[in-house]
Amino acid sequence: MKKFSKQERSWMWYDWANSAYSIIITTAVFPLYYKAVADNAGVSSVDSTAYLGYTISIATFILAMIGPILGTMADYKGMKKKFFLFFFIMGTASTVGLLMVPADNWLLLLVIYTITSIGFRGANVFYDAFLVDVSSKERMDDVSARGYGLGYIGSTIPFIISIAVIVLSQMEILPFSSLTASRIAFLITAVWWIAFSIPLIKNVHQIHAIDREPRIIVNSFKRLGQTFKNITQYRAVFIFLIAYFFYIDGVGTIISMSTAYGTDLGLGATALLLALFVTQVVAAPFSILFGKLAKKFTAKKMLYVGIVVYTIVCIYAFFLDTVVDFWILAMLVATSQGGIQALSRSYFAQLVPKEKSNEFFGFYNIFGKFASILGPILVAATAQMTGSSSAGVFSLAILFIIGAVILKFVPDAETYNADQNKTIGHSS
């Protein structure tokens, strides 16, 4: 970490901070808790998984609708941090709110989860956009990948504590139920998220921005319209976004629904939590490795590696039958999960004009979030039609294939930046 600047390190620490939410709320403890609450209310296993998928789609749709305009407004001086803090407070406060939902009210639980999801993902839009303020284009792949690696390492600490509390409560060593233990895990998530966000809040500031002007909201809509009008100037950016739309859909869906899927296969809570913990540990060095290999082979080629691995995951899931199969699947995901997300973030940051980073990361958000609507619906609908969660996961393979085909038409970031510099030089 010493080779990175104070701003780069502070920015990376937010990956460490929000990683607790990613593993405990998005992936592991909350889905298990929700399944238990839904079961208490008499909801069938397949239906409860479908309802979770629909809820994820609703949350991401809301954020996708407001993302671009919020990003455009945040490009004005002094606005990026304000928007980040708004969603950060929304996410952390509503995460605490999960503790207060009755143990049989699955619908209210999903409502509160929707708010936490909007807060978490909304804060990430502006966090990702801060990458252009803390690092140079030459260092972005490494900084982004190191951030993801740090996040995976950091997530293991609150996750271990949460697993310990849940397991000890199940063994009746602790004097409360496993549902109460899950609520404690939600509290741990909020505290961890808040505590380790302090370096970013203190040390990371918006550098690239446009001057404030009257009627910010009206002018933000005008700027957004101008970007669409001049879309041919940013052809590489938008082709990348279309490719990203498809392949990140499968990634996000597998992450957010993996625990519910494992539960439907009959895997116990302890086995699932252990598998997810090992996945986090394995993912950390592979995230960093993706960043290093991107320097040697280019980020685009490493994105293809991730897409191929995830396609294999979808196909393998269709034949999943034993606990060993689930472990193999989890380890395959671990090798590419962080790398494909980290390099997508840095690849995009290298393509966009810095002074419009928030606006373009708003588009990055809307493409990613609309993708997150399609994936869960695809899994949910396929699972309900076939009666098989495995068939739902298998259906995601088509999204990775489409994404790979479109990505072929996106130039390497290095070539694109060189061409842009030549264009600027000629025009000046």
Rounded mean pLDDT of 210-237? 70
- Give the model confidence (pLDDT) of 22-50 as tens digits: 888 987 789 888 988 888 888 887 788 77
User: Is residue 333 domain-resident?
Assistant: yes
Range of the domain at 374: 6-203+213-427
Write the DSSP symbol of residue 21: I
Residue 245, token pair as written in the block:
């739309």
Q: Total domain count for the chain?
A: 1
Give the CATH number of the domain where residue 302 resides. Answer: 1.20.1250.20
Residue entry with tokens 């897409």: 307
- Give the model confidence (pLDDT) of 363-383 as tens digits: 776 676 565 667 777 877 887
Residue 166, token pair as written in the block:
């849940």
User: Is residue 126 domain-resident?
Assistant: yes
User: Is residue 247 domain-resident?
Assistant: yes
CA distance 149 to 29: 21
User: Is residue 219 domain-resident?
Assistant: yes
- The percent of residues above 70 in pLDDT, for the chain, comes to 85
Close Cβ partners of 326 (under 8 Å, ≥ 6 residues apart):
262, 265, 267, 275, 320
- Residue 125 pLDDT grade (very low, low, confident, very high; cuts 50, 70, 90): confident
User: Is residue 239 domain-resident?
Assistant: yes
Nearest partner of 145 among 15, 280, 334, judged by Cα: 15
pLDDT score recorded for residue 362: 67
CA distance 205 to 217: 22
User: Is residue 366 domain-resident?
Assistant: yes
Q: Is the pTM of this model over 0.85?
A: no
Residue type present at position 49 = T
User: Is residue 208 domain-resident?
Assistant: no
Measured in Å, how far apart are the chain's first and last C-alpha atoms?
39
Q: Half-sphere exposure of 4 toward its Cβ, with a 13 Å CA cutoff?
A: 21
User: Is residue 340 domain-resident?
Assistant: yes
